[in-house]
Structure 1
């Protein structure tokens, strides 16, 4: 009996190895890094439409246009939206019906009274508008949001003191018309401003991309960046759960502005053009 089992062990081990290997490889598949088309010099939002298709947009002052690329950054389509204005487009998300949402809510001077989120049909270009204000009637600079369960979740940039910053979480109904963004939570962050957000609907895992920028001696640009992974939180209170911080390596000053989930093992983050580097996207392990 012992000899019979021992004789079959190598074959059994080989079978188990081959059965598990595809799963391991799928989980470990690392997306490539790539440069973005010249049309996306000031990229500010990204979202996956499919494993090999991504939508993008530029920051304030650029054309009201969405760009579709493949998974290596090759431009497939430009969707012009002449009926809209790009006052300060800051992030991009999608719902489970495939609609795109563009957040025109950047407010560096904290004085805007015309905040919008645009819901866009990516096939026809038809657009609805959500006009909103904050429940405490204050002004916030927002660069990050995502759609989840019929609501939009906005994350602010807010400066405290002594190198500390914070992000406030507001919840906004994802329905066209006049709406109110209601405050839910806040989280203090050391030398980081939040510039992009995404959620993995299957697991509920939330990620925020954030960076810190300064000039040494008044003229030498320097930056550092991180991804904050949020999970194990009370229902809908993303900032109250476990927070893990993952550093994004960058040799040159880089402004990471957007993030989304690429697959089971990796995120994709994108940075806009600077004096030293072209706009590009790179993977970050989850």
Structure 2
């Protein structure tokens, strides 16, 4: 009896980790502890990146948790890479928009060709540089820390950026900006704003994506999804908003659509939990 009890202990402890409604697809590579952005080309892999302090590289990871390809972005310094987006032509956009202190003046999005068909291990990037029209202080006062961002998606000829509120006191407001998807220097267009919720632990937006058929936008936070439907492109925040509590409270940092109704979600490895790739069905 004692032998059976001790053999079962690993199973018991594993099941104690609560990932709520998320289904574990695979344990992500231990060398990638801080994945902050993902994109999927609708195959059984993801492309992933890590944030501040990590290499200027992106990684193709299969659903078994193996790195099958890596690409160095030759002219794309990783100041604070935070999300990825993909357009219908297969181009990939790397959002170097992390701005924890709200003091950066070098915000940039790197545009690279479809990495799945790149023959080598390095790739050149076009630079889409921008600034926020309503930021005049670097940094602003604590009650105006509205210019960090970790969320990016592509639609039409534009890239949409959603900010991560760091204000004190926390009120939850997230701003939406757009910039063209071609190389250049731009003043971002302030599209609108929304307040997903007001608890700072679960209401800061960490990633976003648009469904392949264009009828859903999903924003991720530390434990929740915010799903926009029935919207227009003048300001998608005016559409219908559904809040979904995932029941997980790990450091969820990235979301992308695998298909119109299936999401892939990842979290950073922290305090012995996380570091996984998950799936979630919107059905």
Deviation at residue 32 of structure 1 after TM alignment: 5.1
Which residue of structure 2 lines up, in the alignment, with residue 270 of structure 1? 266
Indicate yes or no: 2:95 matched with 1:97.
Answer: no
Indicate yes or no: 2:93 matched with 1:85.
Answer: no
Q: Which runs of 5+ in 2 are unaligned?
A: 1-21, 139-146
| Preserved contact between residue 211 and residue 260 of structure 2 (Cα < 8 Å) | no
Q: CA–CA distance in 1 between the matches of 2:170 and 2:79? A: 29
Q: CA–CA distance in 1 between the matches of 2:96 and 2:67? A: 23
Which residue of structure 2 lines up, in the alignment, with residue 176 of structure 1? 183
Question: In structure 2, the residue corresponding to 1:51 is in which secondary structure?
Answer: coil
Which residue of structure 2 lines up, in the alignment, with residue 156 of structure 1? 163
Indicate yes or no: 2:106 matched with 1:114.
Answer: yes
Deviation at residue 84 of structure 1 after TM alignment: 2.0
Alignment match of 1:241 (pick from 232, 239, 242)? 239
Alignment match of 1:190 (pick from 193, 198, 204)? 198
Which residue of structure 1 lines up, in the alignment, with residue 63 of structure 2? 71
Higher Cα Rg: structure 1 or 2?
1
Q: CA–CA distance in 2 between the matches of 1:33 and 1:164? A: 34
Count of residues in correspondence between the two structures: 242
Q: CA–CA distance in 1 between the matches of 2:51 and 2:233? A: 32
> How has the CA–CA distance of structure 1 residues 159 and 110 changed in structure 2, closer, same or farther, with 3 Å as cutoff?
closer
Alignment match of 1:230 (pick from 225, 228, 246)? 228
Deviation at residue 120 of structure 1 after TM alignment: 1.1
Question: In structure 1, the residue corresponding to 2:241 is in which secondary structure?
Answer: strand
Q: CA–CA distance in 1 between the matches of 2:51 and 2:236? A: 26
> How has the CA–CA distance of structure 1 residues 181 and 51 changed in structure 2, closer, same or farther, with 3 Å as cutoff?
same
Q: Which has the higher strand share?
A: 1
| Preserved contact between residue 42 and residue 259 of structure 2 (Cα < 8 Å) | no
1:56-67 to structure 2, matched below 5 A, reads: 56-67=48-59
Deviation at residue 160 of structure 1 after TM alignment: 5.5
Which residue of structure 1 lines up, in the alignment, with residue 150 of structure 2? 143
Alignment match of 1:131 (pick from 122, 129, 134)? 129
Q: CA–CA distance in 1 between the matches of 2:31 and 2:128? A: 27
Deviation at residue 278 of structure 1 after TM alignment: 4.3
Q: Which runs of 5+ in 1 are unaligned?
A: 1-29, 212-224
Which residue of structure 1 lines up, in the alignment, with residue 281 of structure 2? 285
| Preserved contact between residue 81 and residue 97 of structure 2 (Cα < 8 Å) | yes
Question: In structure 1, the residue corresponding to 2:126 is in which secondary structure?
Answer: strand
Question: In structure 2, the residue corresponding to 1:113 is in which secondary structure?
Answer: coil
Q: CA–CA distance in 1 between the matches of 2:24 and 2:168? A: 38
TM-score, normalization by structure 1: 0.80
Runs of 4+ in 1 over 4 A off after TM superposition: 159-163
1:7-46 to structure 2, matched below 5 A, reads: 33-46=25-38
Question: In structure 1, the residue corresponding to 2:207 is in which secondary structure?
Answer: strand
| Preserved contact between residue 160 and residue 166 of structure 1 (Cα < 8 Å) | no
